[in-house]
Amino acid sequence: MKILQLDKNHPLISQQLTAKGFVVEEDHTSSYDEVLEKISYYDALIIRSRIPLDKNFLTRASHLKFIARVGAGMENIDAETAANLGIKLINSPEGNRDSVAEHVVGMLLILMNRLFIAANEVKNGIWKREENRGDELLGKTFGIIGYGNMGKAVAKRLSGFGVEVIFYDILPDLSDEYATQVSLKELQERADILSLHIPLTPETHYLIDEVFISKMEKDFYFINTARGKNLKTKALVEAIRSGKVLGACLDVLEYEKSSFENLESENQDLKFLLDSDKAIVTPHIAGWTHQSKEKLAQVIVDKILASYY
């Protein structure tokens, strides 16, 4: 089986698959059109997010048996066309769920305890105690939307913080020892903190908008490590200005390029977030640790070998 790897990943992918008899070639620079010209020569693809695999691409990829996405999100693949063509889709959310969970907790603790602000002030000779009084997690209700690999890992990390974790998911009967499933309405009524762990689909695009925020009964903290376009940024900015959102932790932005490698555009809403002491913004690195790079790759290899070896 001849595999084309379109993004840089951990070398164990090529090493382990080659050792099992697969032919793995790498192309990290060719454009969409250049890859399209040669895709018919390959039986499989291993990707991250650099090139969108749309209907035009997939119909030209006449020999593809599978596409493996090193990561969780599959929105850059036309899944319906892939299914119609009999192309199997593989991803590896198990590989970076721990990294995402730690990032969520870390960002939230920094925000609620003003750690970044206070540390920078002290470095500049400013000593403020009352102004930097923190807000405890203990006793709060933490609401999660999307209880898959990432949501479950977050709930597990929170088990020692004395918070009640509730979640909403479109699938039923997912409650476990770490969190209780509730309706979306109940989550909006009870949550002090809201964290997103959902894919980007037509149904979840701008899920968090002015209407959603208006239905949150409490003033709340907001966390997004899922996809930037799950959130309508302008609505968040307005809610921070009004005090409805107490603070926001954003690892993903509506304005990112589809490859997630940089920003596609900037505007006043983004500038507000970057300047605000009520927002922490990181560059799509929640699932981006040294350990997750290896785990993501290993999960992909294990799934490929389980299916085709």
Residues annotated as part of the active site = 227, 256, 284
Structure tokens at 13: 């992918």
Give the separation between CA 155 and CA 57, rounded to whole angstroms. Answer: 38
Give the separation between CA 233 and CA 230, rounded to whole angstroms. Answer: 9
Amino acid residing at 259? S
Of the CA atoms within 13 Å of residue 38, those in its CB half-sphere come to: 14
* 88: CB partners within 8 A, 6+ apart: 65, 66, 67, 82, 307
For 59, the enclosing helix (H) or strand (E) is: helix 55-60
Amino acid residing at 4? L
Structure tokens at 156: 């597990």
